Every structure is written in C-alpha cells, then in structure tokens.
Amino acid sequence: MLFREDKVARADAEAIRKGVGFYRWTHDLVEITGKDALEVLQKIYISDISKVAVGRSKYTASLDENGEIVKYDFRKTVIRSAVKGVYSEVNEILAGTASPELLEKYKDVKHMIPVMNELCDIRLRERKRRGAPELETAEGALVINDEGVCVDVVARERGKSECIVEEMMLLANEAAAKMAREKNLPFVYRVHDKPSPEKIERLEQILLRLGVEVPVFTDIKPRHLAEILDGARGTELYPVLNVMVLRSMAKAAYAPDPIGHFGLALKDYAHFTSPIRRYPDLAIHRILSSYCENPDTAAIQERFGTFVIQAAQQSSDTEVRAITIERDCDDCYKAEYMQQHLGEIFDGIVAGVTDFGFYVSLPNTVEGLVHVSSLPESDWINDDSIAFKEEQGSKSYRLGDTVRVQCTKIDVNSGNVDFALVEEGQEAAAK
C-alpha cells in the first residue's frame, strides 16, 4: 500500500505535521525540515513490524537526507513478492522505453521504481562523499550452450537496476552490522583493512612512472585512491588503474571483530542479504533470529561466541579456495571459446607485464600472453612491471597501450591463450 493511500499512516503524519512546520510529499517520500526533523522521521518511518497488519506500510529503516541510516529494526517476517522482476525490464522502465505489456506486468510496483532510483542516487552521492573509491573492473559473462560448451564471452554490463539492487543490499548489510556492534552481539563481520605500506609505496612508484598524479598523504585513506581513479577517468590508463588500485588493497575477509570496511569507507559492514548461497549470511541470520526471539545478549554471547570465531575463519579460507577455482574455470571456458577464433586478429590493451612477456586483454575480458619468444629477436626486459621493452632499442609496450594481436595457441585444460603481435603491414599476411 502506498503511504498516500494509508489513511492511518496519513493521519499520524498529519498530527505530526501540525507541530513541525514545512513538509511536502514526493511519491512515497516525506521531506521534513527543521530542528525536530530527525525525531519526526523516526516516528513516521519506524514501525513495529510484528504489529502491522498485512497490507499496511512496513518500514524497517529510516534514512536521513544523505541516505545514512538513522534508525533500523529487525523482525522475523514473511515477504511476499509482488512481481518477478528482471533487471533488463526494470532498466527499460527507468529509461522510459518499456512496452505497455511490460508496464502492465509491473503495475503494482512501478510507482516505487523512481523512488528507489532516487534513493540509489542519494546513496551513491553519500558513498562518494565518504571518499569510497569507485572501482569498475571489467567482468566477463560466459554464454554456455545446452551441451555445456562456451560459445561466447561478453563484457558484463551493469544497468541502473543492478545498481539499485546493489545499493539496497549494501544498506541492509550495513544495518545488520550496525545492529550487531551496537547490541554487542557475536557476529561474522565482512572486514576490509587498509592497504599495507609496502603495497601503497609500490602503487605510488608505478603511478609516478606512468605520469599519474599521486595525492599527498601520510596515512592512506579511501579518498586518496578515489582521487587517483577520478583523475584518470576517461583516459586509456583508466581500466589498468582500476586493476592496479584493486591489487594494492588488502584482501577482504570475515572476522568476529568490527574493524570496518576500507573499500566502502564504512564503519559497519557484513554479508547479510544472501543466506541461500553464502554461509556467513546464513550464520548471521541464525544469530539475528535468535536475538529477535529472545533479546538476551548474554545468552546470545554464550551460544554463538565461539561459533563466530570458527565461522569467520572457515568462511575466509573457503572463499579464497572458491575464488581460485572460479577463476580457473572461467579461464578454461574462455580458452574453449577462443578455440573458435584461432588465427583471428583482435585489438586489445596491455594489461600486465612479466619477465617472459606481457598480457593483452580483449574488450570481452579474454586475456592472452604475448610471449617474448614471439617477439622480434632482441634483448627484451621487464621494466618494473610497467613496460616490456627492448633493452637497447626503442620498442616498448606499456600498461594501457593499445595493440593488435593474433590468437595463435589455445590450451583449454590450463586455460592459457597465446597471442602474437600483428605489426603494421602484417595483417594482410596473417589473414
């Protein structure tokens, strides 16, 4: 039910309005100004969910004008989905290109989509204000046919609906962690420590070599990395810098202590929203369910105190193994796909440098190695992982450089793809 259609909620709001001053309605949002705004928002938006009748408006969190959590409430409830939403369809609604049939499908919820879109924008602005870096690493989507063969690899694109869902999940995750810390509950937090001084020093050296301006700081903050990325946005180096900044960061992990999340610039964070596919989320749901049934902190500590230590460590270890396996599988599938394109020529960028050559990344995220043995005979050296160049000559291939390559060799079992450079004048011969 819309707030404007809820007579009980409107009556409460009207009573409050008479003692507050200015307000206006925007869809289902209420904007209130003045010294009593915070207290008023809490009264309007926080409901005891267990006492709200079915069909009535239910609010589990209150946010201020910057999208920050003011108050929250966790209850065991039943959620009834009004529509089976699809990202691409919601993106069409947001873009104003949805068909009448699509609008009919979303008729019960379409009034909420602009509101969620607005809230998403507010949250994104707040994240930027906190100084959280906007990492945009390329992800490849594998297209697998009915026989289990990879027939295509495409760059994964994120529309606004994906962004909206992500922000709502981040909000719920933050609220769960905030509650655990404030209530002193045993918990499995998602933590992200600041980068080590060694990694930051190495990042600074590489950036200076690439001609990228480095912020002056004595203690690394999220905003410093954000400034680096913002300064390179729109340049050829930007995709490479995203990867470099990401690699300079510490590995996110699970822990029983709330040390915060550096990458998100948040004091409180956990993984709460996906209990059907992620164990830490399931562990948190068990803890919060127990607390909702019996809010006895001492009893919760006794029951889950040792459990969260073990669960955090096990989840961190398992995550590392799972990520490694996932990446290996992706590489094998991508190599399988590239078998169809053996001998073809592609444009890509230099994405990594080693002692034995350099890696080239294609627009669809497939990576291949240009081995030193495939280059013209010369004394080639790895120049501080920034460029692969002739020791005495002028040839050099730097991070971010655009190059043309030919797919020359595939090993599906290892996931390895080999490229060879195609110089000017060689393309016709290669074909």
Contacts 24+ apart (CB under 8 A), 6-11: 6/56, 6/57, 8/56, 9/44, 9/56, 9/57
Residue 332 CB partners (closer than 8 Å, separation 6+): 412, 413, 414, 415
Report pLDDT for 216: 85
Q: Which H helix or E strand runs over 327?
A: helix 297-338
14-23, 35-44, 143-152, 180-189: lowest mean pLDDT where?
14-23
Q: Is there a contact between 69 and 174 (Cβ–Cβ < 8 Å)?
A: yes
Q: Is there a contact between 215 and 224 (Cβ–Cβ < 8 Å)?
A: yes
**CA–CA distance, 191 with 270 (Å, rounded to integer):** 7
Pinpoint the residues of the chain covered by CATH 2.40.50.140: 342-430
3-state secondary structure 104-132: HHCCCCHHHHHHHHHHHHHHHHHHHHHCC
Radius of gyration of the chain (CA): 26
Residues 167-206 have pLDDT tens digits of 999 999 999 999 999 999 999 999 999 999 999 999 998 8
pLDDT surpasses 70 at 18: no
Structure-token pair, residue 122: 């507010």
Which of these, 373, 353, 366, 351, lies nearest to 417 by C-alpha position?
Answer: 366
Give, as one character, the DSSP assignment of residue 35.
T
pLDDT surpasses 80 at 36: no
Q: Evaluate whether the domain defined by 342-430 bears CATH number 2.102.10.10.
A: no
Specify the higher pLDDT residue, 61 or 247: 247
pLDDT surpasses 90 at 39: no
Sign of CA dihedral 141, 147, 148, 152: negative
**CA–CA distance, 2 with 155 (Å, rounded to integer):** 38
Q: Is there a contact between 252 and 323 (Cβ–Cβ < 8 Å)?
A: no
The rounded mean pLDDT for the chain is: 85
Per-residue pLDDT band at 48 (split at 50, 70, 90)? very low
Report the SS3 class of residue 419: strand
pLDDT surpasses 50 at 389: yes
Report pLDDT for 104: 95
Structure-token pair, residue 33: 């100004």
Report pLDDT for 89: 96
Residues 298-311 have pLDDT tens digits of 999 999 999 999 99
Give the highest mean pLDDT range of 13-22, 59-68, 240-249, 360-369: 360-369
Predicted TM-score (pTM) of this structure: 0.81
Per-residue pLDDT band at 63 (split at 50, 70, 90)? confident
Report pLDDT for 51: 45
Q: What is the mean pLDDT of residues 80-98?
A: 93
Per-residue pLDDT band at 408 (split at 50, 70, 90)? very high
Report pLDDT for 37: 56
Report pLDDT for 17: 43
Compute CA 213 distance to the chain's CA centroid, rounded to the nearest angstrom. 25
Per-residue pLDDT band at 2 (split at 50, 70, 90)? very low
Report pLDDT for 27: 36
Q: Is there a contact between 386 and 237 (Cβ–Cβ < 8 Å)?
A: no
Report pLDDT for 38: 54
Q: Is there a contact between 44 and 19 (Cβ–Cβ < 8 Å)?
A: no
